[in-house]
Amino acid sequence: MEKKIFCPVCKKDQDYEIRKETETYPVKNEPVTIEANVTYCSVCGEKIWNQEIDDVNLKAAFRIYREKHGLLQPEEIKRIRDKYALSQVAFAQILGLGEKTIARYEAGSLQDSAPNNLILLAGYPDAFKILLKKNMEHISKTCHVPILITGKEFDADLLASEEWKAMEETMHLNAVPGLADSILAAEEEPKENRLNADTVDW
């Protein structure tokens, strides 16, 4: 079934067509001219407001504005984030931004110069380490993915505190001779042969 759109002249949903036209959008009080997609009713020829199409046009205007003012494009922001294998939320927290900020930028929302420059600096490992140290308390409970930090003199993996504690416990268990094998062997025992902790005289 073909998608239709409501025509205010026909007063009902109608088929529509998309035409290419030159339009100017105001972006931060600056006019930006693009080749826009414009929706017209296929029956009466009336120009129709189409939110989905207009969003695409606005993002196109944002791209031109970013290019003119030297701002990062969405794919460039994602490339910097992917460099550290971080989720959008974790990356935002390390930068001291709102949790949904990076997701919005990568989806096409227009960033101001201040967060843009912060993200740009994060692309440099030495600067990223400073940001990471400054905002560590904001990510320790939410970031469970190891972060690889590549520096001029050394590389390092950053782990959340919970992950490090789990690793310490594992290393401690492995340090006890035969304990790890005993635990694995116990896991293979049928449930009916296992002792119930409530019946054991501790």
3: pLDDT confidence band, cut at 50, 70 and 90? confident
**CATH classification at residue 99:** 1.10.260
pLDDT at 28: 95
Residue 98 sits at φ, ψ, to 5 deg, of -65, 150
> Is residue 179 scored above 80 in pLDDT?
no
pLDDT at 56: 95
The number of C-alpha atoms within 13 Å of 111 and in the hemisphere containing its C-beta is 27
- Domain identity same for 59 and 114: no
> Is residue 110 scored above 90 in pLDDT?
yes
- Domain identity same for 22 and 82: no
**CATH classification at residue 52:** 3.10.20
Rounded average pLDDT over 163-172: 55
Tell me whether residue 186 is in a domain.
Answer: no
133: pLDDT confidence band, cut at 50, 70 and 90? confident
pLDDT at 140: 47
150-168 b/e with 16+ CB inside 10 Å = b? eeeeeeeebbbeeeeeeee
- Domain identity same for 155 and 79: yes
In the chain, the number of structural domains is 2
- Domain identity same for 149 and 103: yes
Tell me whether residue 147 is in a domain.
Answer: yes
Tell me whether residue 36 is in a domain.
Answer: yes
- Domain identity same for 61 and 79: no
> Is residue 170 scored above 90 in pLDDT?
no
Residue 130 is part of which domain span? 74-162
Tell me whether residue 103 is in a domain.
Answer: yes
pTM of the shown model: 0.67
Tell me whether residue 115 is in a domain.
Answer: yes
Among 50, 69, 88, the domain-final residue is 69
pLDDT at 149: 54
Residue 30 sits at φ, ψ, to 5 deg, of -125, 130
> Is residue 173 scored above 70 in pLDDT?
no
The dihedral through the CA atoms of 179, 182, 187, 191 has a sign that is: negative
